[in-house]
A and B are shown apart, each in its own frame.
Chain A
Amino acid sequence: MSILKLSNISYQYDGANTKVLKNINFNFNQGKLYTIMGKSGSGKTTLLSIISGLDLATSGEVFWNEKNLKNISRDDYRGKGIGVIFQGYNLLTNATALENIILSMNISESKEIDKKQYALDLLKIVGINRETSDRKILKLSGGEQQRIGIARALSHNPDIIIADEPTGNLDFDTEENIMEILKNLAHNQNKCVIVVTHSKNVSKYADEVLGLTLGNLTKI
């Protein structure tokens, strides 16, 4: 059984005259790391926002564990089913790194008893030390923000992890480190990990490499 199934997904922005996504059909499975490659503007972020329930497809369906997203609460899906690492981070800029993670855990109704300790541990895994955890997002570098975004996506232990250029702002060593974490999540914790990237180096971690061209998603 596929944890995530895309069925005839098409998408057209309001006011645009062509479709960004055309009739996409694809099944994503647990235990695998996928990368999606494609030129800038090919619709990768758009596709991810549909997969993550942040936006609705113009036509077609997304199934999560056989359940049509249209028929369930997409808030719950976002809060519990899926972890998203955004291209633009999307962190609360006036709050600290730690507050961002704990808030996300609260929204996801995390059962963790010591949320603060759990968040600090996660931040440590992505390379954010204690001192940095208490700084406001505004005062952190792009790379640091990106890693906090990763920690947040993992904080509620979702089955699906989606990452939009998660290593775009990171140096080579940190990139390797992050990709190891994501690969480990797929292979050892049976998560379904989908990573959008331009980097061949990132794609070498993939179990399956997909290409998005002219609105179609195909295996490479």
Chain B
Amino acid sequence: MYILKNSIKNLFRNKGRNIIVAIIILSMLTFTAISMIIRNTTDNVIKSYKEQFGSEIYLRYDETKIKEDEKNGGWADIPEISDDIKIKLANSEYLKETMISVIFPSYAKDLKGLDQGKTESNSNIGTAPSGMEGYYEPNLTVYGYNTPDLLKDFKEGKRKITSGKMFTNNDECVVSEDFAKLNNLKLGDKINISDTTKSSEFPPLKLTIAGIYFDSTENKYGYISATTNPRNDIITTYETMKKYQENVAKKNLYTVSTTYYLKNPDMLKQFNKEAHEKGLHKNYMMSTDELSYNKIVKPAESLAKVSNIFLISVLIIGSIILILLSILSIRERKYEIGVLRAMGMKKGKVVRGILYESLITISVCLVIGLSIGAITAQPISDIITQNQQDQNSSFGGIQVNQEKINLSMSYKTVIDVSIIALLLAIISSSVGVLYILRYEPMKILSDRN
């Protein structure tokens, strides 16, 4: 007991030195706490990104492979990927599900599309096939999906079935309220849709309206036409389209696009490997949405990296200062230890006394440091999160629905910081302890006298 009391008194006796030590340890612990908070926050950002987008995989060019090819002379070989391969890849064990979709811009002579005929006013845009000889301008677009469950607009509430139901069987479709109204369509009506060739030799696609949806999505293409107006979207099953192409049209009407959903974002590598083994050309790869990845995850990762480097430098510099300080104060320490030993205090008790001093200093710093950390955690995290979002939306990237990360000082942070504090305590007392363990008291004393 007297050892503890003496340690406490000693802390006050050597106020000057101990205040400097305390300030250093305090700043180290505060930086540690703050940096861990930053880490937790960025980890959360990355995690929430991965949860929302990390398992959504697209087929895209592998730019690095293509550049390699070009560097090795000539043109890179970029063959078209067949629909068969795309669909075959959907059977991977790494996938939770796959969305297969086709787009079929088409023409129905009995129906009118919204904005139909308005293309003329955008005549400076040459891509619209309206003026082409032998073709109609499409007045609607048929979409075929293998499952209605993955339709984003419906999932996010931008589209909603207001009467009838979502298509379930082949040859069923849903149309928008505006489109239905324009054409006086009701549930159960059949519509005939053809391709845009004026001299079509095969019969039209026949669809039955199973549902009508409210649509609040916007024209994404920047010019007004029947093709780009989302109210003209007619949605049916992929099977319907497939059968129509294979059995009726007997010619290519569309290309398949696929979005693969991994069971776990970490399986991307394996999935890529498997895809290439199954015949995916080497200049293609499976990848997440690179753009939003770069906008969201990259900054978070680099922030985490910076804060890590910062933390490590603070810890290293702080430890060096602590060691220097304890070397500078070794004369005092040594004398004190010599006196205590001369009075008959056992080595173990002297060590205990020194450890108590460090531990008391550290505990006080720990309480203050963690409090500072706890108070600043939320503001710091908010600033980081806000920055990430600003950066993201200012680049026009996807808006990640980041839940406001509620950071109270986590249990883990407290433990981590405490472990670091303990290490600091050991560093700051080890020099003195080493002396005690090595010398006879007379040696320690006579060195000074």
- Complex: A79 Cα to B346 Cα, angstroms: 9
Shortest distance between the CB of A137 and any CB in chain B (Å): 10
Give the chain B neighbours of A77 by CB distance below 8 A: 344
Given A94-B13, A95-B9, A103-B2, A78 contacting B342 (CB threshold 8 A): yes
- Complex: A56 Cα to B442 Cα, angstroms: 9
Check A75–B346 contact: CB distance below 8 A. Answer: yes
Given A79, A94, A106, which contacts B14 in the complex, CB threshold below 8 Å?
A: A94
Check B338–A90 contact: CB distance below 8 A. Answer: yes
Give the chain A neighbours of B344 by CB distance below 8 A: 75-80, 107-108
- Complex: A108 Cα to B336 Cα, angstroms: 17
Interface membership of chain A positions 63-83, coded 1 if the CB is closer than 8 angstroms to chain B and 0 otherwise: 000000000010111111000
Give the chain A neighbours of B9 by CB distance below 8 A: 95, 99
Check A54–B345 contact: CB distance below 8 A. Answer: no
Given A88-B449, A95-B13, A79 contacting B343 (CB threshold 8 A): yes
Give the chain A neighbours of B312 by CB distance below 8 A: none
Chain A, Cβ-Cβ closest to B12: A94
Check A90–B342 contact: CB distance below 8 A. Answer: yes
Give the chain A neighbours of B441 by CB distance below 8 A: 54-55
Does B339 touch A at the CB level, under 8 Å? yes
Shortest distance between the CB of A108 and any CB in chain B (Å): 6
Check A107–B443 contact: CB distance below 8 A. Answer: no
- Which of chain B's residues 320-342 have a Cβ closer than 8 Å to chain A? 335-336, 338-342
Chain A, Cβ-Cβ closest to B14: A94
Give the chain B neighbours of A87 by CB distance below 8 A: 449
Check B339–A54 contact: CB distance below 8 A. Answer: no
Does B6 touch A at the CB level, under 8 Å? yes
Interface membership of chain B positions 288-310, coded 1 if the CB is closer than 8 angstroms to chain A and 0 otherwise: 00000000000000000000000
Does A92 touch B at the CB level, under 8 Å? yes
Inter-chain contact count A-B, CB under 8 Å? Answer: 63
Give the chain B neighbours of A79 by CB distance below 8 A: 343-345
Does B422 touch A at the CB level, under 8 Å? no
Shortest distance between the CB of B432 and any CB in chain A (Å): 15
Name the prevailing secondary structure of the B interface residues.
Answer: helix
Does B445 touch A at the CB level, under 8 Å? yes
Chain A, Cβ-Cβ closest to B339: A90
Does A86 touch B at the CB level, under 8 Å? yes
Does A30 touch B at the CB level, under 8 Å? no
Given A79-B344, A106-B2, A108-B344, A91 contacting B339 (CB threshold 8 A): yes
- Complex: A118 Cα to B342 Cα, angstroms: 21
Max chain A CB contacts within 10 Å: which of B347, B349, B440, B441?
A: B441
Given A78-B343, A78-B344, A90 contacting B445 (CB threshold 8 A): yes
Given A56, A80, A93, A103, which contacts B440 in the complex, CB threshold below 8 Å?
A: A56
- Complex: A73 Cα to B346 Cα, angstroms: 9
Check B345–A75 contact: CB distance below 8 A. Answer: yes
- Complex: A180 Cα to B339 Cα, angstroms: 27
- Complex: A108 Cα to B340 Cα, angstroms: 11
Does A160 touch B at the CB level, under 8 Å? no
Check B440–A54 contact: CB distance below 8 A. Answer: yes
Shortest distance between the CB of B292 and any CB in chain A (Å): 63
Chain B, Cβ-Cβ closest to A102: B2
Given A78-B343, A88-B449, A92-B336, A55 contacting B14 (CB threshold 8 A): no
Shortest distance between the CB of A62 and any CB in chain B (Å): 14
Check B14–A104 contact: CB distance below 8 A. Answer: no
- Complex: A93 Cα to B338 Cα, angstroms: 12
Give the chain B neighbours of A8 by CB distance below 8 A: none
Does A49 touch B at the CB level, under 8 Å? yes
Give the chain A neighbours of B446 by CB distance below 8 A: 49
- Complex: A103 Cα to B2 Cα, angstroms: 8
Give the chain A neighbours of B339 by CB distance below 8 A: 90-92
Check B342–A103 contact: CB distance below 8 A. Answer: no
- Complex: A99 Cα to B10 Cα, angstroms: 11
- Complex: A55 Cα to B445 Cα, angstroms: 11
Give the chain B neighbours of A152 by CB distance below 8 A: 343
Given A84, A106, A108, which contacts B342 in the complex, CB threshold below 8 Å?
A: A84
Shortest distance between the CB of A22 and any CB in chain B (Å): 19
Give the chain B neighbours of A103 by CB distance below 8 A: 2, 6, 343
Given B13, B349, B445, which contacts A88 in the complex, CB threshold below 8 Å?
A: B445
Give the chain B neighbours of A55 by CB distance below 8 A: 440-443
Give the chain B neighbours of A76 by CB distance below 8 A: 344
- Complex: A76 Cα to B349 Cα, angstroms: 13
Shortest distance between the CB of B442 and any CB in chain A (Å): 4
Chain B, Cβ-Cβ closest to A45: B446
Give the chain A neighbours of B14 by CB distance below 8 A: 94
Chain B, Cβ-Cβ closest to A79: B344
Give the chain B neighbours of A90 by CB distance below 8 A: 338-339, 342, 445
- Complex: A107 Cα to B345 Cα, angstroms: 6
Check B342–A86 contact: CB distance below 8 A. Answer: yes
Chain A, Cβ-Cβ closest to B2: A106
**Given contact pairs A90-B342, A90-B445, A103-B343, a sample of 11 additional A-B residue pairs in the complex whose CB atoms are under 8 Å apart:** A49-B446, A75-B341, A75-B346, A78-B342, A79-B343, A86-B445, A90-B338, A91-B339, A92-B336, A94-B13, A103-B2
Q: Please name 26 pairs of A and B residues whose Cβ atoms are closer than 8 Å in the assembled complex, sorted by A.
A: A54-B441, A54-B442, A54-B445, A73-B346, A75-B344, A75-B347, A77-B344, A78-B343, A79-B343, A79-B345, A86-B445, A87-B449, A88-B445, A88-B449, A90-B338, A92-B339, A94-B13, A99-B9, A103-B2, A104-B343, A107-B343, A107-B344, A107-B349, A108-B343, A108-B344, A152-B343
Q: Name B's A-contacting residues (CB within 8 A).
A: 2, 6, 9-10, 13-14, 335-336, 338-347, 349, 440-443, 445-446, 449
